[in-house]
Structure 1
Amino acid sequence: MSSTGRRADHRVTFAVLATGVIAFSLLQSLVTPVLPTLEAGLGTNQSDVTWVLTAYLLSASVFTPILGRLGDMTGKKRMFVVALAALALGCLLAALATDLTVMVVARVVQGIGGGVLPLAFGIIRDEFPRDRVAGAVGAISSLVAVGAGVGLVVAGPIVDAFSYHGLFWLPLVVLVVAALAAQFLVPESPERTAGSINWAAALLLSSWLVALLLAVSQAPSWGWGSAEVLGLLVAAVVLAVVWVLVESRAVQPLIDMRMMRVRAVWATNLVALLFGAAMYAAFAFLPQFLQTPSSAGYGFGSTVTESGLLMLPQTIASFVLGLVSGTLAQRIGSKVVLVIGTLVVAAGYLAFALAHDSQGAILAGSVVMGAGFGLAFAAMSNLIVAAVPPSQTGVASGMNANIRTIGGSIGAAVMASVVTAHAGAGGLPAESGYTNGFLMLTGALVAAALAALLIPAVRRDPATHAEPDVALRHPEAALVAGGTLVGDDPE
């Protein structure tokens, strides 16, 4: 319940959730285009400054599912406030940082806030009228892509005006306001999952995620065939197998393996892996392409600010189509929207791979990519939310977000290897590296669209056109004691 003892209007709740999610997604991308500035400001080198990204990634991968589970157990609103507070504290530390060590610690603290997204989905499911859930989830999902795009757009002007410290002072103000608003305006979730955190499972989950993400994030600099990378990959596989065995036998698992075996869940997670690989790789390398001096035979020599502005239409398209996605899902189904959105993004990537010699072509391709992002992001989140009971929403959507992040790490690392495979003029990557890289990402998106076809079709309510929860469609997926799922999706 809220502090007033009444349920808040769902539109107020949405505004608070949207503010928190935008701040979180901004912090994912703000530092990417200004790494050289951070390198100089923190007195470090090109290799070590990448830990500003890696530390955040590793921390978010560990805490996202844990906060999702804690939200299901103790209250989603409570953990949403905790996640925002962690983001705010991390911003404060980063804003004050003058050396790499403090900055990396700050980014680790910020990573705790990775639970913001699954907790927001859970709150929406608990608080919104049923016919508004799909639209709200779609809008919040689109804000992830929008926030990431806005981060790329505004990073340059913020650094020019306030130095790199401004990258964290401005989100800090937003986060403090969002945390206070969440505490006093958002009602506490009525749904609870009984039990406690399985800390052995949490440790194993953290261990294999850290091993995997550390390997793929450092592979471009350490070498894919290096002993360090191969050792970490082997460790990740072994630890992941042990984690699955422990979770499968646990009375109170951190992540219910029976839930993960539901076809609507695992198929959507497979799409998330492939989609994340393509999306985050593009966010990392499209600005780099635009900033390449034209003397290399390609690129436009754009500044950080100019490259961000060239990506602004993509951000706008993501937002607009994200708002439309919920309405489309009610009419034609989230699965169809996801397939269409993924193929639209693939078309944008293909256009960029084949035609990138003018800013007009870049803008056109970016708008197409952004439109697909908005459609697919929203539909993916809706499918996960609809596929599990309310008490599993946080952990299921947290794992989906996590798997998308893992895909992003793999995609960015592989893209880096492809782009830098051959040197061109002045030691810069050859143009063919970007062409081959975006063709590879196009293939990943086509594979994601094919994977989306594996998601079971959902019969919509003829009266409301809404997609019912899987627990309502299939009695065998109903909750049993302890909040676990029984059986699999038979479709």
Structure 2
Amino acid sequence: MPDPSAGARPAPMRSLLVLSTAALAYSLAQTTVIPAIGDLEARLHTDSSGVAWTMTGYFLAAAVFTPIFGRLGDMFGKRRMLVVSLLAFVAGSVVSALGDTLELVVAGRVLQGVGGGIFPLCFGIIRDEFPRERVAQSIGLISATLGIGAGVGLVLGGIIVDASSYHWIFWGSAAMSALAAVAVQCLVHESPVRSKGRVDVRGAAVLGIGLILPMVAVSRANTWGWDAPRTLGLIAIGVAILVAWVALERRTDEPMADIPTLSAPPVLMTNVATLLIGFGMFASYILIPQLAETSTRTGFGFGLSATGAGLLMLPGAIIMLFVGPVSGILGARLGNKVPLALGGLLTAAGLILMGLVHDTQLEILVFNMVSSIGVGLAYAAMPNLIVDAVPPHRTGEATGLNAVVRSIGGSLGSQVTAAILAGSVLASTRLPSDSGYTDAFVISGVVALLAAGLAVIIPRAGHAHLPVLSEIGAASPLGDPALADTRVRA
């Protein structure tokens, strides 16, 4: 209900500028880490499985805490919780910046993930505060900022690492996020919209435990053995806990996930495809930088700097933004499962080709662009499929949980491919072998191919078409399907 103390609303343009700054801080902080993977691995004295936790830790925390912060924003004020999210992001950045061990850097990344509610809260403020005719355009602009910042971060991260070290990536993130938090507190009016409710802390805790146990098993599989009782046991326990979580959510009055909605075949199948595509895309984020920065003395590495690795990946990040609207056009004419299926096929083709043929930088650049086109088509189609399949009042929740599933897929892809690389390390070089990269790319491609096959059999519901800017954001490397809920609420 409205807050009676709320005063005159500020100019939307001022609020939009401040919210865009918060969005940019978030998006830059995520992709600047990617070119630093090699530097992190060397300086933290770890292997591919260890350094993958800098990605996995963030995505798991974001998967659990993003719905929590969304609910807290509805209850206690979206601006207030946006400031809290940004401050959590600042705290995580500082911890990682100060960290000189893997444990500290990962702990900081987990804290950054706690601040993962930044985008849904920005969208909520816009829906509550902006004139009806400005809502869709403004959400689309914030969404596009996510994609643009993600692309810039790939290059900026490489430049920072080459000039100094990974520490300064996190110091820069802390400074920008702190400035954004101050600006939000001082220049953005608190939303007057409140809704009573409760936070499903129990469900979030169970979900977190169920997700992390299999990840730990995968990361330790090369040490314990893939068929070792500890490995299989942790995976089995994690799966059992996730099954129990579904049953728990069905019995919870105000769950973090509405299971009947999520279990509808179009929604369930879209979310599974989302997980599989996310697996493939984030696997490439682990593989390409390490391959690019591997010494030429190995016979297959390119010996690039971190900046060079970022530039090698930049065309793929940029092209994702352009194919988002193409996905919308295809979906409007042929149904949204068509761009999802096509996207899965192209993602698979690019990843498999990178695995089989990666002798030159040009081959990686071209095949990564093919894969990125596929990811962009698929990611922009996913929120449209969700919007088609759920009632209007469930759109925000369902698309937000689709974003959570994407994070889980990214965590799984990062950890599995890193484990494959770690298992292929040669005693002579103490580096992953060429066959390790081949296996990791090909397995990721096969996973994306499964997503394409699943997309073909998704029940056809409709031809929803998001605004162009929203499709750009959804197709970006770190796109958030929660932006799809751009309908103005009465």
Alignment correspondent of 2:442: 439
Q: Is 1:456 aligned to residue 466 of structure 2?
A: no
Deviation at 1:136, TM superposition (A): 6.5
1:417/1:169 CA distance change after superposition, 3 Å? closer
Say which SS state the counterpart of residue 311 (structure 1) adopts. helix
Q: Which runs of 5+ in 2 are unaligned?
A: 472-488
Q: Is 1:373 aligned to residue 375 of structure 2?
A: yes
How far, CA to CA, are the matches of 1:329 and 1:54 in structure 2? 32
1:110/1:224 CA distance change after superposition, 3 Å? same
Deviation at 1:414, TM superposition (A): 2.9
Deviation at 1:442, TM superposition (A): 2.3
Aligned counterpart in structure 2 of residue 312 of structure 1, from 292, 311, 314:
314
The within-5 A match list for 1:399-414 is 399-414=401-416
Say which SS state the counterpart of residue 225 (structure 1) adopts. coil
CA deviations over 1:92-127 (Å, ceiling 9, x no partner): 333344555543432232110122244445556666
Q: Is 1:30 aligned to residue 32 of structure 2?
A: yes
Give the partner amino acid of 1:225: D
How far, CA to CA, are the matches of 1:311 and 1:300 in structure 2? 14
Alignment correspondent of 1:233: 235
Deviation at 1:258, TM superposition (A): 1.7
Deviation at 1:91, TM superposition (A): 1.6
Say which SS state the counterpart of residue 9 (structure 2) adopts. coil
How far, CA to CA, are the matches of 1:362 and 1:434 in structure 2? 12
Moved over 6 A (4+): 127-139
Deviation at 1:365, TM superposition (A): 1.8
Q: Is 1:59 aligned to residue 61 of structure 2?
A: yes
Q: Matched residues, percent identical?
A: 44
Deviation at 1:140, TM superposition (A): 5.4
Alignment correspondent of 1:286: 288
How far, CA to CA, are the matches of 1:336 and 1:188 in structure 2? 41
Decide whether the 8 Å contact of 1:142 with 1:377 is kept in 2: no
1:460/1:290 CA distance change after superposition, 3 Å? closer
1:460/1:45 CA distance change after superposition, 3 Å? closer
Alignment correspondent of 1:470: none
Alignment correspondent of 2:358: 356
Alignment correspondent of 1:275: 277
Deviation at 1:4, TM superposition (A): 5.8
Deviation at 1:74, TM superposition (A): 4.1
How far, CA to CA, are the matches of 1:45 and 1:259 in structure 2? 42
Give the partner amino acid of 2:452: A
Deviation at 1:182, TM superposition (A): 3.8
Decide whether the 8 Å contact of 1:138 with 1:382 is kept in 2: no
How far, CA to CA, are the matches of 1:268 and 1:130 in structure 2? 30
Give the partner amino acid of 2:442: L
Say which SS state the counterpart of residue 224 (structure 1) adopts. coil
Alignment correspondent of 1:484: none
CA deviations over 1:202-256 (Å, ceiling 9, x no partner): 3222221222333334434543333433232122122222222221112222222
Say which SS state the counterpart of residue 5 (structure 1) adopts. coil
Decide whether the 8 Å contact of 1:64 with 1:399 is kept in 2: no
Aligned counterpart in structure 2 of residue 165 of structure 1, from 164, 167, 185:
167
CA deviations over 1:420-442 (Å, ceiling 9, x no partner): 55567745444333333323222
The within-5 A match list for 1:54-203 is 54-100=56-102, 102-123=104-125, 147-183=149-185, 194-203=196-205
How far, CA to CA, are the matches of 1:100 and 1:419 in structure 2? 18
How far, CA to CA, are the matches of 2:26 and 2:109 in structure 1? 12
Decide whether the 8 Å contact of 2:76 with 2:194 is kept in 1: yes
Decide whether the 8 Å contact of 1:335 with 1:383 is kept in 2: yes
